[in-house]
Amino acid sequence: MSNVNNFEYAPAPESSALVDIKSEYGLFINGKFVAPKSGKTFTTVNPATEEVLAKIAYAELADVNLAVTAARNAFVKTWSKMPAAERGKYLFRIARILQERSREFAVLETLDNGKPIRETRDTDIPLAAAHFFYHAGWADKLSYAGHGSNPKPYGVAAQIIPWNFPMLMLAWKIAPALATGNTVVLKPAETTPLTALLFAEVCQQAGLPAGVVNIVTGDGATGSHLVNHPGVDKVAFTGSTGVGKAIAKAIAGTKKSATLELGGKGANIVFEDAPIDEAVEGIVNGIFFNQGHVCCAGSRLLIQENVQDEVIEKLKNRMNLIRIGNPMDKNTDLGAINSSAQLGRIKDLAESGDIEGAMRWSPDCKLPTSGFWYPPTIFTGVSQSHRIAREEIFGPVLSVLTFRTPQEAIDKANNTPYGLSAGIWSDKGSRILWTAKRLRAGVIWANTFNKFDPASPFGGYKESGWGREGGRHGLSGYLKGQY
């Protein structure tokens, strides 16, 4: 028995033996895994260790052609002709398989992405399954979704998803597309393709008709082939505002419509009458959840100046408890940065904070020697004009600003080209409603942050994107309404 009051949590690693990672993966086209025409491959690594996990097929134009053709055939011959209730059954089946194989998916996501197993196990994978369940229910009720009595699918949807929530973003894209009767060619992010490829196996297991879901792996060039393909009717993209703008330009003047979920610089507003301890928890959740790789992260903290000291002191104490390290350990709170490129961007922007005169603080923490890591960091004394208050960092870096009056909070929160998310912390209901009405953000949380539900539409104002995903509103992105 130790006399030291030190509750060191012994390592509690989840087993990586739960997944069978193949050494090489093909493209998933027309219900089968096939080799890329060029034979080219690239590797995906575990960002926590830099170990290579697998060789991944690199899709070029010829492969994209095959995938779009397969999707078109499936749409014309099978999927659009199938009774809606039957489509729903496939979605229910996929949802159930995701639940049954959730541990496998969680482990694979953590290995490929670097995020903690606690998050993949408790958030990413359960929510992904929930999206399939939710949309399965919609499949035969689309006439009642508010898009006319007989809304029609677009046809072939090209979907491009990011690396921050690989499986969850796949579910956000594929579930509504299939429920509404579209077929899909999906390109996962270059650094995180593995759960999408495991999902391809789930499609096979569910007996989904060949070609309804196709998965092509590659980089930006692959995505560009897909977006520009004349056989595509609909583009859905989640990623950076820069790429989103390029996509919007590329499809201008074509028949294609687009849903874009882009960047954000969410304001988390803490009023003096807030439940301070829970607000601190919400601040931590807002910026350190998923290493801050969250487009709706609460990356700007706006604190009413008269409670600033109390909030910052409690925030620092709370940050001292964040457990950084092996993402496979069930007690890890903050995992690895997804790639060295992203780590470089975070470092650059954080350095600009130092140069522009903001004050940096991080808890004492030992970072692993291999892999890509960044400590949880806050900058106080940040002004609206600082780069770290304006540009999306997409990492565990929080910019702290203050305000004096509710109107000033609104003005500062809205003073950004983005408009994806915001948080309000106050015990006063009238103040929450007053504030929410004036914030230009697609998602506003009151006394919580980063909570998601398939029934709740998600999307941005201004340069944070076009359209909504989830809920009844999200269906409109995949339906041609007849009003």
Partner 1 sequence: MNSTLLPNYSEASLRNFLKTLPPVDQVGASARVEMLATRSIKTSSKNWAIDLAIRMVDLTTLEGADTPGKVKALCAKAVYPDPTDLTVPSVGAICVYNDMVKIARDALDSGGGKHIPVAAVTTAFPSGRASMEVKIQDTKDAIANGAGEIDMVIDRGAFLAGNLGLVFDEIKTIKEVCGSDVHLKVILETGELVTLDNVRKASYLAMLAGADFIKTSTGKVAPAATAPVVYVMLEAVRDFYKMTGTRIGVKPAGGIRNTKDAIKQLVLVNEIAGPEWLDPSLFRIGASALLNDLLIQRMKMRDGYYASPNYVTLD
User: Between residue 86 and residue 145, which ones bind partner 1 under the rule CB under 8 A?
Assistant: 118, 122
Instruction: State which residue, 14 or 261, has the beta carbon closest to partner 1.
Output: 14
CB of 310 to partner 1, least distance (A): 8
Rounded Cα–Cα distance for residues 368 and 331 (Å): 15
CB of 121 to partner 1, least distance (A): 9
Instruction: State which residue, 330 or 480, has the beta carbon closest to partner 1.
Output: 330
Q: How many CA within 13 A on the CB side of residue 90? A: 27
Using rule CB under 8 A, residue 34 touches partner 1: no
Using rule CB under 8 A, residue 5 touches partner 1: yes
**Of 14, 109, 261, 392, which residue is the catalytic one?**
261
* Interface with partner 1: number of residues (CB under 8 A): 27
User: Between residue 310 and residue 329, which ones bind partner 1 under the rule CB under 8 A?
Assistant: 321
**Of 119, 295, 296, 463, which residue is the catalytic one?**
295
Using rule CB under 8 A, residue 276 touches partner 1: yes
Instruction: State which residue, 65 or 447, has the beta carbon closest to partner 1.
Output: 447
475 in Cβ contact with 138 (< 8 Å): yes
Instruction: State which residue, 329 or 463, has the beta carbon closest to partner 1.
Output: 329
What are the angstrom distances between the C-alpha of 175 and each of 87, 170, 172? 11, 8, 6
Q: Max Cα separation, the chain? A: 73
- The backbone torsions φ and ψ at residue 446, rounded to the nearest 5 degrees and listed phi first, read -115, 120
CB of 423 to partner 1, least distance (A): 12
Using rule CB under 8 A, residue 278 touches partner 1: yes
The 232-251 contact track toward partner 1, x by CB under 8 A, reads: --------------------
Instruction: State which residue, 331 or 414, has the beta carbon closest to partner 1.
Output: 331
The 324-353 contact track toward partner 1, x by CB under 8 A, reads: ------xx----------------------
Instruction: State which residue, 45 or 294, has the beta carbon closest to partner 1.
Output: 294
Q: Which span (7-15, 61-69, 261-269, 357-365) binds partner 1, by CB under 8 A? A: 7-15
Q: Convert the chain into a string of H (helix), E (strand) and C (coil).
A: CCCCCCCCCCCCECCHHHCCCCCEECEEECCEEECCCCCCEEEEECCCCCCEEEEEECCCHHHHHHHHHHHHHHHHHHHCCCCHHHHHHHHHHHHHHHHHCHHHHHHHHHHHHCCCHHHHHHHHHHHHHHHHHHHHHHCCCHHHCCCECCCEECCEEEEECCCCCHHHHHHHHHHHHHHCCCEEEEECCCCCCHHHHHHHHHHHHCCCCCCCEEECCCCHHHHHHHHHCCCCCEEEEECCHHHHHHHHHHHCCCCCEEEEECCCCCEEEECCCCCHHHHHHHHHHHHHHHHHCCCCCCCEEEEEHHHHHHHHHHHHHHHCCCCECCCCECCCCECCCCCHHHHHHHHHHHHHHHHCCCEEECCCCCCCCCCCCCCCEEEECCCCCCHHHHCCCCCCEEEEEEECCHHHHHHHHHCCCCCCEEEEECCCHHHHHHHHHHCCCCEEEECCCCCCCCCCCECCCHHHEECCECHHHHHHHHEECEC
Q: Which span (220-228, 254-262, 278-286, 474-482) binds partner 1, by CB under 8 A? A: 278-286
Using rule CB under 8 A, residue 11 touches partner 1: yes
Dihedral angle sign, alpha carbons of residues 204, 208, 214, 217: negative
CB of 128 to partner 1, least distance (A): 19
Q: Which span (252-260, 277-285, 296-304, 344-352) binds partner 1, by CB under 8 A? A: 277-285
Instruction: State which residue, 10 or 17, has the beta carbon closest to partner 1.
Output: 10
Using rule CB under 8 A, residue 15 touches partner 1: no
Using rule CB under 8 A, residue 368 touches partner 1: no
The 436-455 contact track toward partner 1, x by CB under 8 A, reads: -----------xx-------
Rounded Cα–Cα distance for residues 110 and 293 (Å): 14
Instruction: State which residue, 201 or 310, has the beta carbon closest to partner 1.
Output: 310
Q: Which amino acid is at 311?
A: V
Using rule CB under 8 A, residue 433 touches partner 1: no
Rounded Cα–Cα distance for residues 386 and 458 (Å): 28
Q: Which span (129-137, 268-276, 298-306, 471-479) binds partner 1, by CB under 8 A? A: 268-276
User: Between residue 389 and residue 428, which ones bind partner 1 under the rule CB under 8 A?
Assistant: 427
CB of 456 to partner 1, least distance (A): 16
According to CB under 8 A, which one of 51, 277, 351, 411 is a site residue for partner 1? 277
Q: Which span (271-279, 362-370, 431-439, 459-467) binds partner 1, by CB under 8 A? A: 271-279
Using rule CB under 8 A, residue 274 touches partner 1: yes
Instruction: State which residue, 252 or 321, has the beta carbon closest to partner 1.
Output: 321
> Is 296 designated active site?
no
Residues that bind partner 1 (CB under 8 A): 1-2, 5-12, 118, 122, 273-279, 281-282, 321, 330-331, 427, 447-448
Residues noted as catalytic: 261, 295
